Amino acid sequence: MVQSLEGKVAFVTGAGRGIGKAIAMDLAKAGVNVGMLDKNEELLKKVASEIGTIGVKVAYGKADISSLEQVEQAIEKMTTEVGAADILINNAGIGIFGKLLDIEPEQWKKVIDVNLMGTYYVTRTVLPQMIEKNGGDVINISSTSGLSGESTLSAYSASKFGIIGLTESLAQEVRHNHIRVTALTPSTVVTDFIADLQLVDDDKAEQYMHPEDISQFIVSQLKLDQRIHVKTASLINTNPF
């Protein structure tokens, strides 16, 4: 039986642009009330304005997710405005390219702090809401770089491997609370981050996944009957070359 998402509450990190924005928008179109976290408040305001025209509740909290204090403040604000979460999408993340010896320790640590510790901080803050409701969905955005390490991406790969481990452990902890925890491992998605790094030629962009492809998959997954748990899912570009 397909579940309706209408009236549920979702918190989405990194919702100011790219994959996070697409997820927030598509969830809103499915009738979900949305709370958004991002460190860029101006982007959040623009997305909130767009979602507001759809007719669902929307709230946002400015936060650097590598700070537990900022996360807790943002979640408290959003909970007050749209309610306790039924859905959590941990999407926010950063990346840095460079050989291990060429990256400064502070830079390497920052990737871990945002991608892995940030996912932990947000989940730790939101999870009690789902336990109290005795149900929910947590979807963590990892990467194909979390399945196999890549040259010049040691910090990013390490953080994304860590997200998969966190996901699998947490899924076992909360399964009896009827909370499903999933890790998605997409390959290259055409976002501003990818464009800034010039990793995809403009004339080949349509051959790669776009943020809307990820968000549409997530909405479909969330509608699956509660008896189905997607442990991990790899989303791969069909024919990018």
pLDDT higher at 202 or 65: 65
Neighbour tally for 71: CB within 10 Å: 24
User: What would the pLDDT profile of 105-114 be if each residue is shown by its tens digit?
Assistant: 999 999 999 9
Indicate the range of 155-159, 189-193, 194-198 predicted with least confidence. Answer: 194-198
Query: Which pLDDT score is estimated for 239?
Result: 73
Query: Which pLDDT score is estimated for 2?
Result: 85
Model confidence at 207, in pLDDT bands (50, 70, 90)?
Answer: confident
Burial of residue 125, with CB atoms counted within 10 A of its CB: 0-12 exposed, 13-18 middle, 19 or more buried: buried
Q: Can you tell me the distance from the alpha carbon of 102 to that of 3, in angstroms, rounded to the nearest whole number?
A: 49
Burial of residue 213, with CB atoms counted within 10 A of its CB: 0-12 exposed, 13-18 middle, 19 or more buried: middle
Beta carbons of 159 and 109 less than 8 angstroms apart:
no
DSSP, res 100: G
Evaluate if residue 77 carries a pLDDT over 70: yes
Q: Delineate the domains of the chain, giving CATH numbers in brackets.
A: 9-235 (3.40.50.720)
- Mark out the alpha helices in 83-140 (DSSP H runs): 105-112, 118-133
What's this model's pTM, rounded to 2 decimal places? 0.94
Q: Can you tell me the distance from the alpha carbon of 13 to that of 38, in angstroms, rounded to the nearest whole number?
A: 6
Evaluate if residue 76 carries a pLDDT over 90: yes
Question: What's the mean pLDDT in 84-113?
Answer: 96
Within 8 A by CB and 6+ apart from 215, the residues are 19, 22, 23, 25, 26, 27
Neighbour tally for 58: CB within 10 Å: 24
Q: Known catalytic residue: 156?
A: yes
pLDDT higher at 223 or 200: 223
Evaluate if residue 168 carries a pLDDT over 70: yes
Model confidence at 203, in pLDDT bands (50, 70, 90)?
Answer: low
**Residue of 60, 120, 121, 156 with catalytic role:** 156
Q: Hey, is 192 helix, strand or coil?
A: helix
**What value does the mean pLDDT of the chain take?**
93
Q: Can you tell me the distance from the alpha carbon of 67 to that of 231, in angstroms, rounded to the nearest whole number?
A: 28
Helices (H) and strands (E) in the chain, counts: 8, 7
Evaluate if residue 191 carries a pLDDT over 90: no
Q: Can you tell me the distance from the alpha carbon of 176 to that of 156, in angstroms, rounded to the nearest whole number?
A: 32
Q: How far is CA 55 from CA 49, 82, 178, 236, in A?
A: 11, 13, 29, 33
Model confidence at 103, in pLDDT bands (50, 70, 90)?
Answer: very high
Query: Which pLDDT score is estimated for 238?
Result: 85
Residue 125, both tokens:
């803050």
Strands (E), 111-197: 136-141, 179-186
Model confidence at 1, in pLDDT bands (50, 70, 90)?
Answer: confident
Question: What's the mean pLDDT in 201-227?
Answer: 86
User: What would the pLDDT profile of 15-69 be if each residue is shown by its tens digit?
Assistant: 999 999 999 999 999 999 999 999 999 999 999 999 999 999 999 999 999 999 9
